[in-house]
């Protein structure tokens, strides 16, 4: 009988702890769902910028870059991709390449709970090239955009997703 009296508070405490953990988990899931809905609406608006802090090359090379001059942007039916490295002379006047184009395809997949936002598309650049891209956005606000050119070369921009109004990117001179 005495053992039951000592164990009863422990059992109640364990049940309360499980209940608190479940409530916290449900609250976090709800917050993630709300954040993903906001991010989805941003991508759906076609008014966003992925400011890259890392760029991945074809051979798996990783470069840490400045987000203000390395980005993938969508503005309505147009897109800009810019790659720049400090200290290097480039075609865009800031150490790299800037390419503008018209969005030919913009396929935003339906939002699925627990999965990243997925966008697939193609860009017809003014210089005549065609670029296929895929973009994934995570609940943290981080995004990854992989662009594949006419000759199969890939480049991946990885960084934060911003609205056009909140972005602080600098655009160089486009090659087209």
| CATH number of the domain where residue 96 is located | 2.40.128.410
Q: Report yes or no on 148 lying in a domain.
A: yes
Q: Report yes or no on 33 lying in a domain.
A: no
- Is 151 in contact with 159 (CB distance < 8 Å)? no
Q: Looking at the whole model, is its pTM more than 0.75?
A: yes
d(CA 64, CA 141): 18
Q: Report yes or no on 59 lying in a domain.
A: yes
| Bridge partner residues of 123 (DSSP) | 103, 131
How would you write the pLDDT of the chain (176 residues) with one tens digit per residue? 565 556 556 566 566 677 778 888 888 888 888 999 999 999 999 999 999 999 998 888 999 999 999 999 999 999 999 999 877 777 788 888 899 999 999 999 999 988 999 999 999 987 668 999 999 999 999 999 999 988 778 999 999 999 999 999 988 888 76
* Spatial CA neighbour of 154 closest among 57, 50, 51: 57
pLDDT single digits (tens) 69-107: 999 999 999 999 999 987 777 778 888 889 999 999 999
Q: Report yes or no on 176 lying in a domain.
A: no
Q: Report yes or no on 98 lying in a domain.
A: yes
Q: Report yes or no on 30 lying in a domain.
A: no
| Domain of 109, in residue numbers | 40-163
Q: Report yes or no on 63 lying in a domain.
A: yes
pLDDT at 131: 93
Torsions phi, psi of 29, nearest 5? Answer: -60, -40
Q: How many domains does the chain have?
A: 1
């Amino acid at each position: 009988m005495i053992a039951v009296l000592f164990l009863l508070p422990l059992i109640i405490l364990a049940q309360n702890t499980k209940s608190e953990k479940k409530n916290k988990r449900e609250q976090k899931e709800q917050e993630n769902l709300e954040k993903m809905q906001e991010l989805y609406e941003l991508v759906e608006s076609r008014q966003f910028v992925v400011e890259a802090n890392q760029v991945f090359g074809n051979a798996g090379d990783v470069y840490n870059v400045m987000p203000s001059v390395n980005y993938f942007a969508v503005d309505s039916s147009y897109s800009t991709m810019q790659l720049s490295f400090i200290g290097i002379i480039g075609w865009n006047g800031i150490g790299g390449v800037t390419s503008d184009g018209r969005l030919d395809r913009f396929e935003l997949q339906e939002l699925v709970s627990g999965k990243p936002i997925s966008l697939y598309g193609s860009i017809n650049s003014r210089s005549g090239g065609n670029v296929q891209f895929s973009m994934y956005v995570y609940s943290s606000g981080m995004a990854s955009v992989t662009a594949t050119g006419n000759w199969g070369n890939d480049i991946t921009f990885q960084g934060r997703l911003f609205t056009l109004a909140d972005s602080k990117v600098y655009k160089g001179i486009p090659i087209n």
